[in-house]
A = this chain, B = another copy of it.
């Protein structure tokens, strides 16, 4: 008996990775006179990996990594204007309109009322809260959890605090690492809906999928029918 359906937010309910990819492209243009685009991207990715343990996820940490990369790549010759561009870019990223994925409104509307709908999302608290508020679909979710990491223990904690049986819980998201595998590990239903791109820090090794039970859908539009089928089993 499914009672609760939880959705990841970024790249499951609305576009997010696009905003980072576009910002990276602009960053490569900004520093084009110093280095090749590939080298700039490689160094920014390296800085991000190194900093994630300090900054956590989100636009502010990403922007501090950009500042750091710009200094490193120019050996300190980066100009005040170039750094100012990075700060202004951060503000622009935070202001990006919320662009819902196709089918999200219909799906969420169809499921709400019949199931408890939740959002479980990783990232910067302040940023995620304003995104949910601006999304226009916040009212459909009875509960929102913003966490700094999504792993098996975090999911188990969220469910146990609410007295939700994992067998009646569905986690829906685009990340195998953060949405699908940890939910499957605690015995919940896990539905993978791949996004158009995959963030390099989200990749999992194929061997991690061994023995894991999850479903994969092409689009969130297919979710209500999938839920129907589970209920009938």
Contact = CB atoms under 8 A, between A and B. Distances in A.
A126 B63 CA distance: 16
- Which 5 residue pairs across A and B have the least CB separation, nearest first? A56-B126, A76-B80, A125-B125, A60-B60, A126-B148
Contacts of A71: 80, 83-84, 87
B64 A55 contact: no
A76 B84 CA distance: 8
A63 to B, nearest CB: 6
A67 B83 contact: yes
Interface string A67-96: 110010011111111011001001100110
A34 to B, nearest CB: 12
Interface string A33-59: 000000000000000000000111100
A74 B83 CA distance: 13
14 contacts: A54-B91, A54-B95, A55-B94, A55-B126, A56-B127, A60-B61, A60-B64, A67-B67, A67-B87, A68-B87, A124-B124, A125-B125, A126-B148, A129-B148
